[in-house]
């Protein structure tokens, strides 16, 4: 499948999706939202995909909403604005719940919706000169649609600071608040992405998907409430063909079958 605003490649077990609007700093418009939603739906059923990498062409990861797109919506009704918001939420939710790990390769800047994209990635790696900001407040609106995903990543305290000030913050600050997981020199970012990809490919693919589902299932629960859920999940994994093969390989000091 080819897209107008996305570059999509497959390298072995790794699916790459790159925002392809460098001339407008990879800003969102309705077509980008629709294409990312379509890609995230298709990649779920693409045979052999075990990890995905999200990046941006040009000098910037993602600068948020496109100015021309915003201009075209100025005369929308409240119902049309709600429809726009629902489409953006559906895209972010679809990326957030991919059964394979999604790695963000972040460079240049991640602004507003770009922070939302970073927030739905399981692993986020940023170049050390990247600038971040949640700027909606500066134009009299709020980061409503991205808020549940960003809050899950950075927590209430950091959200209060970033949402209410709208100010820029550094990659180091993004690391401190949990928005990204690693900050590296720009020249090293691809090596860092490759390292995480390599680690993921060493893991059981069904177990990786189950681990992603596990996080969503138990996040925010008290240990006592989580106990029956976690017991059912580990029982299923230990009894599964993949779990049995992996444990047998470990006990026999052999490679598990999913490692070539």
User: Phi, psi at residue 158, to the nearest 5°?
Assistant: -65, -35
Of residues 65 and 169, more confidently modeled: 169
pLDDT bracket for residue 2 (50, 70, 90): confident
Q: Quick one: residue 217, left, alpha or beta (phi over 0 = left, psi -120 to 50 = alpha)? A: alpha
Nearest residue to 135 (alpha-carbon basis) of 103, 111, 105, 117: 111
The single residue listed with the structure tokens 């550094």 is 170
Q: Each residue of 188-239: pLDDT tens digit?
A: 999 999 999 999 999 999 999 999 999 999 999 999 999 999 999 999 999 9
Domain boundaries, the chain: 6-201, 205-251
**Rounded to 5°, angle at Cα 16 from 13 and 17:** 150
For domain 6-201, give the CATH number: 3.90.226.10
Q: Each residue of 43-61: pLDDT tens digit?
A: 999 999 999 999 999 999 9
Cα distance between residue 85 and residue 120, in whole Å: 16
Cα distance between residue 193 and residue 52, in whole Å: 10
Nearest residue to 184 (alpha-carbon basis) of 129, 127, 236, 141: 127
Structure tokens, 55: 């990046």
DSSP string, 49-80: --EEEEEESTT-SB-SB-HHHHHHTTT--HHH
| Per-residue pLDDT at 1 exceeds 90 | no
**Per-residue pLDDT at 164:** 98
Cα distance between residue 99 and residue 115, in whole Å: 21
Mean predicted lDDT score pLDDT of the chain:
96
Q: Each residue of 141-177: pLDDT tens digit?
A: 999 999 999 999 999 999 999 999 999 999 999 999 9
């Amino acid at each position: 499948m080819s897209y107008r605003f996305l570059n999509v490649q497959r390298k072995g077990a790794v699916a790459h999706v790159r925002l392809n609007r460098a001339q407008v700093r990879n800003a969102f418009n309705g077509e980008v939202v629709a294409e990312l939603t379509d890609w995230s739906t298709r990649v779920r059923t693409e045979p052999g995909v075990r990890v995905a990498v999200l990046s941006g062409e040009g000098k910037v990861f993602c600068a948020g909403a496109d100015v021309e797109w915003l201009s075209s919506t100025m005369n929308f009704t409240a119902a049309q604005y709600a429809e726009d918001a629902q489409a953006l939420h559906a895209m972010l939710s679809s990326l957030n719940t991919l059964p394979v790990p999604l790695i963000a390769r972040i460079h240049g800047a991640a602004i507003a919706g770009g922070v939302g994209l970073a927030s739905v990635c399981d692993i986020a790696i940023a170049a050390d000169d990247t600038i971040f900001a949640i700027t909606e407040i500066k134009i009299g609106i709020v980061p409503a649609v991205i808020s549940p995903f960003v809050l899950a990543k950075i927590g209430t305290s950091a959200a209060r600071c970033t949402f209410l000030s709208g100010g820029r913050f550094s990659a180091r600050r993004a690391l401190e608040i949990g928005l990204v997981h690693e900050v590296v020199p720009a020249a090293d970012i691809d090596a860092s992405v490759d390292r995480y990809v390599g680690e993921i490919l060493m893991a059981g693919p069904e177990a990786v998907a189950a681990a992603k589902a596990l996080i969503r299932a138990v996040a925010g629960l008290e240990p006592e409430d989580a106990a029956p859920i976690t017991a059912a999940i580990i029982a299923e994994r230990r009894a599964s063909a993949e779990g049995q093969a992996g444990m047998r390989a470990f006990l026999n000091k052999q490679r598990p079958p999913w490692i070539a």
